Structure 1
Amino acid sequence: MSAEARQIVIVGGGTAGWMTAASLARFLDPRYRVRLIESDAIGAVGVGEATIPQIQLFNQALGLDENDFLRQTHGTFKLGIQFVDWLRPGHRYIHAFGQIGRPLGLLPFHQYWLRYRAGGGELGLDAFSLNASAALQNKFSRQVKPANAALPPMTYAFHFDASLYAKYLRNYAEQRGVIRIEGKIDRVEQRGIARSEGKIERVEQRGVDRIEGKVDRVERGGDDGYIDAVVLANGQRIVGDLFIDCSGFRGLLIEQTLKTGYDDWSHWLPCDRAMAVPCARAGEFTPYTRSTARPAGWQWRIPLQHRTGNGYVYSSRHLSDDEAAATLLANLDGEALADPRPLHFVAGKRKKFWNRNCVAIGLAGGFMEPLESTSIHLVQTAIARLLTFLPHGEPRQADIDEFNRQSAFEYERIRDFLILHYKAVERNDTPFWDDCRTMPIPEELQRKIDLFAAGGRIVRHNDELFTEVGWLQVLLGQGVRPAGYHPLAEQLSAGELAEFMNMIRSVIQHETGAMPLHADFVAGHCA
């Protein structure tokens, strides 16, 4: 990439492509030319309709109005994920966003809760979580009352229609032109006509150019093997300095062209198929995603304003496609609005996310099943990483290596968090769950489990995605019980401990009691 010719070509649209395009349109100056190639004939996968709270940072960075974004994408709010029948049939727990309780002294809250439970306390962890308490009552509010200073701010994410989100960002990216004018400016009229007392030497306006078409072939350079251009089926040749592969599972550039290689994690994450189907909205309008364990995998439920998204993620070694479709259709809230759509995938990641002058973002870079709603987040962090290491001139190998190192670390830690859901189970009622329960797991995950089981300790390394509170809820929810608690939790007397726990519980009950129903909040702000 020369210092002057800064041409970025995005291959593929969908959520990943248009999130990338919108970010580049927002942060790059007019010297960069960004073009996105997509074909209307190629449908989007659309499995990423649930998000985690970091999506707020992405939307805020683009300057999106939250209510307008939710209206345009038929979105709703999300306070966490409820897991049903995972540990064993009939059991359920919630992985809620946000803080649980509050720390005291040197210890996190859960160490006092462990002592409280050891002394006969009956309240579960979710009773001390504002998000969990609100979610289980189908309530929502963006902010807590100022009087409740003991509570942290509400932490929330969104459910939305991924295809509508892509269209929303496409409109943003295409219309976001940066006007650059050289000369003495008198005024700029509303219609964009610039007038000056002197001569205007140049006017530039550059948004993202969308090019309709299918890529027919990819042209590569000589000795360095860099991508020079992509050629469309109609013969149009699109040259670029940096290519971003958002082509989905195909990995058109990163894999089919550059032969980068793939790390297959299906021996730890055995599900390799999904059936997805929307249904009419019915039942509870929940401010959380639901994940229900099934005989050979799990089913998601994502409530939107106009429909409910559903899917069955399963192992083809343990269940046929027809059986999966039948199970999914038999467990919907309302009438199916389409036929179940099959998806095939292999859990894992590319051996390199950045190879030569190609960066893979989204499904082209890897696939983590949507169990913890990380698909869109992985797009978001890849974009942020790309902007951090954006080359000025020829890409430097040190930058490429660090980009790949950070990306691999993120994927591996998310992988371990997902494996925990399958490994730490009591159920052995089907061959699928028996295989999961008895499978060997990565050493790093085993160390986390052993450390928590010994004394409730959780160690978070570097910038791994899931917090100590996230690990806490899933470890406990999946049946990992600490043998004890931190000795410093004994510094409170029994009466002081009871007062501390009752105070937190009382504040949460008071706050959730004043919240509106999730359905009413959506109707009043972003319907």
Structure 2
Amino acid sequence: MQKNNLNSICIVGGGTAGWMAASLLSSALQGSQIKITVIESPDIATIGVGESTVPSIMDFLRTCQINLKEFAEATSATFKLGIRFDDWLEPGAQFFHPFGRVGQDVNGFEFYQLWLKNVIDGKATRWLDHSPCAIMAENQRFMLRPPPQQNWVLNSYSHALHLDAILAARYLRELSQKRGIERIEATVDKVVVDERQFIRSLELNSGTTVTSDFFIDCTGFKGLLIEGALNIGYEDWTHYLPCNRAVAVQTENTSGLHPFTVATAREAGWTWKIPLQHRTGNGYVFSSQYCTDEQATDTLLKAVNGKLLNEPRIIPFTTGRRKKIWHNNCLALGLASGFLEPLESTAIHLVHKTLVHFVRHFPDQDFESHTEQAFNQKINIDYQEIRDFIILHYCISGRDDTEFWRWCKTMPVPDSLREKICLFRERGQIEHIPGQFFTIDSWCSILEGMKVRPKKYHPLVDAFDEQYMVTLMQESAHNVRDTVMKMPSHSDYIQQYCAVKKS
């Protein structure tokens, strides 16, 4: 059997995506003898505002053999148990999207179905009373999950990180270089493409020419390789998600470190608040059709607390993705592959997921088209799932107090999402495909938070004894609260476990 393995991979662009790729590939390709090079331009600034993550960040750290405590200290991280949504249903209303499980399934029935029957029977606890992460967040509690135990509560929660994206990229760069990744500090002047539409080489402003078997494009929105050289095209999703700009600013911390992101609905979009150990990240994601840059900046500055640490920065974007994320010998990663607004903090997750799919479909120099096609199908499904979940937040909102929110009332909804909502409204069920990121509990949390209540529950749930159901709900809620209240506070845990060392 003839081997035709890759000998080299060139990552173009540093930043979070570039150094995540270098870190993961340096672990995954260990022993393969494949040379990995990163070309990082000193003249091109990174976006650096992707500071909120989802629990898959823990999988990334494990794959890269990175010590969590060390990484948290280096990136000024705090822990994240979910997202609190303020004013989305209506001004003054609040709900929470927790990570981890909500309740326990019984005899093959989803917990939501059992809970829903109790609601209809008028004997309900709150949905979130059964979520360890929600009760931890409400009470500002946190501890890393211990090894598997009999207590289901301790086995059911998960967490992500809030982190400084610039510090994270710096940490991953140092780690990658220690592992033998070559870093070239230069700017790409020209991308040379051969007659087959494969990238042959890169001409740098230093006068050097770099050749490689495979290239990973981490050049941000412009997509220097995937779009600039290969003209792959972009699938624009602005008709589904009209927010196309963000303004971001950093402030001093003024209060405790809450273990969740806050997303607050505003006149023409929403603002974020992300607490780090040394500062708070703030931003306003908005639609330029309903709001000017000046109005957005004014809204954000009125909403923040604490002294400003930098000038507000406008970031334009177009929601969507490349028509192909892997084409020939080029993979687009991070902002070069596409952009979904950061409402559910999925940017870093998509970088990780893209790399996981890439390693599973890793090519040799034959570059079989079916391998590339299988990869693109997988990552396209991931993008579509996240797109639909983000649209959900807008299309079921009860707000109609501004032109933007009135547009959301009648906004176009993909068939894939419409079918999901219809099934839920009928009988509280969510069709879930194995491998999807957002769980049934996540969908139920958003829909329940927005007061979308099904007409009925699964008919076979009536077979359960009524008193058993009431007792089950009461014990479930009691076990969650009892376990959570024994945990330390989030701030105390950070101080003991991963406080940033004073320089």
TM-score (norm 2): 0.96
Among candidates 388, 406, 422, match of residue 416 of structure 1: 388
Q: Structure 2: how far apart are the matches of 1:436 and 1:256?
A: 34
Q: Contact 2:123–2:470 (CA<8 Å) still a contact in 1?
A: no
**Residues 353-392 of structure 1 mapped to structure 2, 5 A cutoff:** 353-392=325-364
Aligned-partner SS, 2:184: strand
- Rg comparison, structure with higher value: 1
Q: Which residue of 2 aligns with 1:193?
A: none
Q: Which residue of 1 aligns with 2:189?
A: 216
Q: Contact 1:82–1:95 (CA<8 Å) still a contact in 2?
A: yes
Q: 1:384-434 deviations in whole A, cap 9, x for unaligned?
A: 111112212221111111111111111011100000001001111000011
Q: Structure 2: how far apart are the matches of 1:240 and 1:403?
A: 21
1:525 maps onto 2:497 in alignment: yes
Q: Structure 2: how far apart are the matches of 1:306 and 1:249?
A: 29
Aligned-partner SS, 2:281: strand
**Residues 286-325 of structure 1 mapped to structure 2, 5 A cutoff:** 286-325=258-297
Q: Contact 2:84–2:95 (CA<8 Å) still a contact in 1?
A: yes
Would the alpha carbon gap of residues 144 and 173 (structure 1) be closer, same or farther in structure 2, given more than 3 Å must change? closer
Q: Structure 2: how far apart are the matches of 1:404 and 1:453?
A: 32
Q: Contact 2:6–2:363 (CA<8 Å) still a contact in 1?
A: no
**Amino acid in structure 2 at the alignment position of 1:13:** G
Q: Structure 1: how far apart are the matches of 2:49 and 2:460?
A: 45
Q: 1:184-222 deviations in whole A, cap 9, x for unaligned?
A: xxxxxxxxxxxxxxxxxxxxxxx1111111111111112
Aligned-partner SS, 1:413: helix
**Identical-residue share of aligned pairs (%):** 41
Q: Contact 1:81–1:291 (CA<8 Å) still a contact in 2?
A: yes
Q: Which residue of 1 aligns with 2:163?
A: 160
Q: Which residue of 1 aligns with 2:15?
A: 14
Q: Structure 1: how far apart are the matches of 2:32 and 2:106?
A: 51
**Residues 460-475 of structure 1 mapped to structure 2, 5 A cutoff:** 460-475=432-447
- Unmatched segments (≥5 aa) in structure 2: none
Q: Which residue of 2 aligns with 1:232?
A: 204
Q: What's the offset of the Cα at 1:47?
A: 2.7
Q: Which residue of 2 aligns with 1:199?
A: none
Q: Structure 2: how far apart are the matches of 1:221 and 1:148?
A: 60
Among candidates 50, 71, 74, match of residue 73 of structure 2: 71
1:127 maps onto 2:99 in alignment: no
Q: Structure 1: how far apart are the matches of 2:46 and 2:418?
A: 36
Moved more, 492-501 or 136-145: 136-145
Q: What's the offset of the Cα at 1:145?
A: 9.6
Q: Which residue of 2 aligns with 1:137?
A: 139
Q: Contact 2:20–2:169 (CA<8 Å) still a contact in 1?
A: yes
Q: Structure 1: how far apart are the matches of 2:290 and 2:149?
A: 53
Aligned-partner SS, 1:253: helix
Aligned-partner SS, 1:216: strand
Q: Contact 2:27–2:65 (CA<8 Å) still a contact in 1?
A: no
Q: Contact 2:51–2:162 (CA<8 Å) still a contact in 1?
A: yes
Q: What's the offset of the Cα at 1:123?
A: 2.8
How many residues are paired up? Answer: 495
Aligned-partner SS, 2:83: strand
Q: What's the offset of the Cα at 1:88?
A: 1.0
**Amino acid in structure 1 at the alignment position of 2:404:** F
Q: What's the offset of the Cα at 1:43?
A: 1.2
Q: Structure 1: how far apart are the matches of 2:125 and 2:82?
A: 19
Q: Structure 1: how far apart are the matches of 2:416 and 2:338?
A: 21
- Unmatched segments (≥5 aa) in structure 1: 177-206
Q: Contact 1:283–1:333 (CA<8 Å) still a contact in 2?
A: no
**Amino acid in structure 2 at the alignment position of 1:18:** W
Q: Structure 2: how far apart are the matches of 1:142 and 1:33?
A: 36
Q: Structure 1: how far apart are the matches of 2:116 and 2:359?
A: 43
1:283 maps onto 2:255 in alignment: yes
Q: What's the offset of the Cα at 1:284?
A: 3.4
Q: What's the offset of the Cα at 1:31?
A: 2.1
Cα RMSD for the two superposed structures:
1.4
Would the alpha carbon gap of residues 211 and 458 (structure 1) be closer, same or farther in structure 2, given more than 3 Å must change? same
Q: What's the offset of the Cα at 1:108?
A: 1.0
Q: 1:99-150 deviations in whole A, cap 9, x for unaligned?
A: 1111111211111111111122353211111110010111111136987623
1:500 maps onto 2:502 in alignment: no
Moved more, 297-306 or 42-51: 42-51
Q: What's the offset of the Cα at 1:333?
A: 2.4
Q: 1:444-503 deviations in whole A, cap 9, x for unaligned?
A: 100000000001011112422211111111111123210011122222333222111111
**Amino acid in structure 2 at the alignment position of 1:377:** H
Q: Contact 1:144–1:154 (CA<8 Å) still a contact in 2?
A: no
Among candidates 423, 430, 433, match of residue 402 of structure 2: 430
Q: Contact 2:214–2:329 (CA<8 Å) still a contact in 1?
A: yes
Would the alpha carbon gap of residues 254 and 128 (structure 1) be closer, same or farther in structure 2, given more than 3 Å must change? same
Among candidates 408, 414, 425, match of residue 453 of structure 1: 425
Would the alpha carbon gap of residues 32 and 147 (structure 1) be closer, same or farther in structure 2, given more than 3 Å must change? closer
TM-score (norm 1): 0.92
Q: Structure 2: how far apart are the matches of 1:104 and 1:366?
A: 40
Q: Structure 1: how far apart are the matches of 2:93 and 2:41?
A: 45
Q: Which residue of 2 aligns with 1:332?
A: 304
Q: Contact 1:144–1:511 (CA<8 Å) still a contact in 2?
A: no
Q: Contact 1:425–1:479 (CA<8 Å) still a contact in 2?
A: no
Q: Contact 1:4–1:31 (CA<8 Å) still a contact in 2?
A: no
Q: Which residue of 2 aligns with 1:42?
A: 44
Q: Which residue of 1 aligns with 2:174?
A: 171
Aligned-partner SS, 1:293: strand
**Amino acid in structure 2 at the alignment position of 1:393:** Q
Aligned-partner SS, 2:225: coil
Aligned-partner SS, 2:216: strand
Aligned-partner SS, 1:243: strand
Q: 1:242-276 deviations in whole A, cap 9, x for unaligned?
A: 01000010100000111000000001111000001
